[in-house]
């Protein structure tokens, strides 16, 4: 789990999922953080553990995890069923793809450094 800041002001808790193509946030979190799709053609089909779903694709102006941040990150707006209480979605490759990732399981730390 990572504590994430969206659009400079809204905090969320997302599960780190390096196998997810997109960062996925719940509909409630998207609304609270002011993240909405601007396009009529913004719906995409996703294959998830639970099967195929259709979801909305949008852009988060900024996502920050600790000292690492990215601007204009593609996110999927979809409320994933059965997530633990207090978890708002998944932090996926649409955020991580420009970072080298080091997971330190014993210290429960996620270390990100820019790709060179």
CATH number for the domain harbouring residue 74: 2.40.70.10
pLDDT tens per residue across span 35-91: 988 766 688 888 877 788 889 999 999 999 999 999 999 999 999 888 999 999 999
Helices marked H in 2-106: 27-33, 93-96
pLDDT of residue 40: 62
Q: Give the chain's domain count.
A: 1
Distance CA 116, CA 113 (A): 9
What is the rounded distance in angstroms from the CA atom of residue 89 to the CA atom of residue 92?
Answer: 9
Entry pTM: 0.89
Structure tokens, 68: 């690492």
CA dist 10 and 4 (Å) reads 8
Range of the domain at 81: 2-114
pLDDT tops 80 at residue 92: yes
């Amino acid at each position: 789990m990572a504590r994430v800041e969206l659009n400079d002001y809204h905090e969320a808790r997302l599960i780190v999922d390096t196998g997810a193509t997109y960062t996925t946030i719940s509909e409630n979190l998207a609304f609270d953080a002011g993240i909405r799709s601007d396009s009529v053609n913004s719906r995409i089909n996703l294959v998830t553990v639970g099967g195929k779903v259709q979801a909305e694709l949008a852009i988060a102006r900024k996502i920050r995890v600790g000292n690492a941040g990215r601007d204009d990150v593609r996110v999927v707006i979809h409320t994933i069923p059965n997530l633990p209480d207090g978890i708002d979605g998944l932090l996926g490759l649409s955020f991580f793809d420009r970072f080298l990732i080091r997971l330190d399981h014993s210290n429960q730390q996620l270390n990100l450094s820019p790709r060179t």
